[in-house]
Amino acid sequence: MVDGALYSATTLNFLGSEPLLLRSLTTALRTEFQAMWLNEPQFVSMVEVPESVGNVEGDDDKVYLFFSEIAVEYDFSSKLAVSRVARVCKKDKGGQRILQKKWTSFLKARLDCPVLESSLPFLVQDVFLWRASDWRNSVFYAVFTPQSASVDLSAVCAYSVTAVGDVFSKGKFKTPVTVETSHTKWVMYSGELPVPRPGACIDNTAKQMGIMTTLDLPDKVLQFVQTQPLMDPAVEPLSGRPLLVKRGAAFTRIVVDRVTALDGQNYTVMFVGTDNGFVQKAVNYDGEMVIIEEMQLFHQPVPIEILRLSVATGQLYAGSSHGAAQVSLSVCGRYRSCLDCVLARDPYCAWNLAEGRCTALPHLQSLQTRYDTLVPTCTRKSLMCLWPAAPENMTFTTGMSIKLPCQQGSKRAAVHWLKDDQPLNPSDEDYVHEDSLLILRTSAATAGRYECRSVESAKGRKYTATVAVYKLLLNETVNEGKDVKPLPPQPKPRTTGHDLLPLQVPLVALAVTLAVLLAWNLYRGHLCLPGCRRTQESAGSPSSPGQTNPEAAEVSEITLLPNRNINNNHFSVTFAGGMDTTASPRDKRCSVPLQYIDDESEI
């Protein structure tokens, strides 16, 4: 909503085949239904910039529209999508004879965010306008994702509002040229532009020519805008490259805050939502964006669809299809030590020497700004702070593999491993330096003291902290008891349902297979139910009543008795052996129908 008027970028019909930029007021104003204006667009964001404030040329306020669409200016074998930024003047009233009730100031340009890893242009997903006290210093921040599934990257680019305006007010136009019969090629327009400049707002220069509103514009100006609304130069980002490029979850939304830290410098803080329910917090230090925090806002991996920033309350609001979340812009209490608070480089936080804790800036009273005073426990010369870490004893035998964990508290920290106070050789094949140390083949020389150190740089200085210490003892040495204390019993790992899952799946499959086999044997008559007993015959000497002859139990005989239905080749089978001799004659016979099979493949 701008001055009581609703600006909407949508489609006019339910089929979604007629996109338009519409202003709903007393007289509605809209875009032309032409591919050179909007060609299968995906609208992203719209924002108003008060460019008339303090403008000596009497320019008008602008409404900027960000979207992606199928490019018409490139000769590509398939549809190529590009990112766009378009703008219209707030006081546009349409044309008198041409472009009646249509925008006379609609111009668009390509929005470029170059990522070297991709040959196809990235597509804009969200745009946030950081508003400065002077609109000329305002900046657009936009997140981009690739249009190719083979690229797993997301990027953030920043654009100056004045740079975007210069493309529309000073840049060259593109014009369609018909070549080779009906083929259309877009080239840069090098002819003379009509006066006043096509697509420009009504400023003091136009008013001096007697053009007070867009209804007074000449027909040749309106015809030029109607057929050539595309600018030739692209809008390039600040510094010519993205501020942030990251692999993993795709970026979806972005909001930006500007913070004055304890050192008096202004820092840009970006909060970027992802498609798996996370919000990443990044800070610009010396022209480099550093992700200092990652927050999971939703249990389900759902995309962040709404992201809003409230500077007055210091809260961040996020919305998804599963609900809404509210988080503070700074959670300084998570940093327990002075070194943690300083190395976090969170401009919202600082170490309070009086209270001995990390506190948000608005509530600080007694503060120090210099790094050497903020870390009084660290050695001044080497700037090394060795945190107390008790060594953990571990025994091993030769030929086995050992993994020594080393969890870093910061993603920007470098890991250094030492053995007996000597640096480990990174080129040794037995060691893997990541979040742990893996010794693939142990030997007697493996025994010793291993130390994991975290080295992080800040303000040109290095801070070192000992994260973990391990003492590896050869199992033979422990058994001989050569001045080695007995090791405490190691707790057994707890088995969870996820650990048993690989065993449960084959057991269930085996049980189902056995059940199917049992049912098939019962159906085919290979097995008898408990009501059908087998007869037992003596094999040699008779047995006394109630007793079973062990030798007779091993004898079984099958007697085929012809069935009454001779034509069907059915027979009855009688099993004998292994039965109690006291059983009744009725229980001594179990008849199972058999059938001849002519096809040998079914036997």
Cα three-residue angle 454-457-463, rounded to 5 degrees: 50
Report the mean per-residue pLDDT for the chain: 80
Among the ranges given (133-147, 283-297, 470-484), the one the predictor scored with the smallest mean pLDDT:
470-484
DSSP count for the chain of H helices, then E strands: 8, 31
Distance (Å, whole) CA 423 – CA 426: 9
587 has pLDDT over 60: no
Structure tokens at 433: 């330096």
In terms of Cα–Cα distance, which of 219, 257, 266 is closest to 98?
Answer: 219
Among 44-53, 154-163, 326-335, 501-510, the range scoring the smallest mean pLDDT is: 501-510
Among residues 396, 417, 414, 413, which one has the least CA distance to residue 405?
417
Q: What is the pLDDT of residue 597?
A: 53
**Which stretch of 46-50, 65-69, 426-430 has the lowest confidence by average pLDDT?**
426-430
pLDDT at 457: 74
- Chain Cα centroid distance, residue 70: 26
pLDDT digits (tens, 9 = 90+) for 281-330: 999 887 778 888 899 999 889 999 999 999 889 899 999 998 999 999 98
pTM for the full model? 0.70
The answer to whether the CB of 574 falls within 8 A of the CB of 559 is: yes
Q: Which residues, in sequence order, are bridge partners of residue 280?
A: 272, 294
pLDDT tops 60 at residue 489: no
Q: Decide: 433 and 353 in contact? Cβ < 8 Å.
A: no
Token reading at 480 = 């001989």
**DSSP β-ladder status, 392-396 and 461-474:** parallel
Q: What is the DSSP string of 364-426?
A: --SB--SHHHH-TTS-TTT-B-------EEEEE-TT--EEEE---S-TTPEEEEEETTEE--T
With beta carbons less than 8 A apart as the criterion, state whether 88 and 62 touch. yes
Does the pLDDT value for residue 363 go beyond 70? no
Residue 10 CA to residue 26 CA, distance in Å, equals 19
**Spatial distance between the Cα atoms of 334 and 353, rounded to a whole number of angstroms:** 16
Fold (topology level) of 6-241: Methylamine Dehydrogenase; Chain H (2.130.10)
Is it the case that residue 195 has pLDDT exceeding 50?
yes
Give the domain ranges of the chain. 6-241, 245-374, 392-480, 524-602
- Compute CA 549 distance to the chain's CA centroid, rounded to the nearest angstrom: 75
- CATH for 392-480 (3.40.50.620, 2.70.98.10, 2.60.40.10, 3.40.50.2300): 2.60.40.10
Q: Which residues of 14-30 are buried (b: 16+ CB within 10 A; e: fewer)?
A: eeeeebbbbbeeeeebb
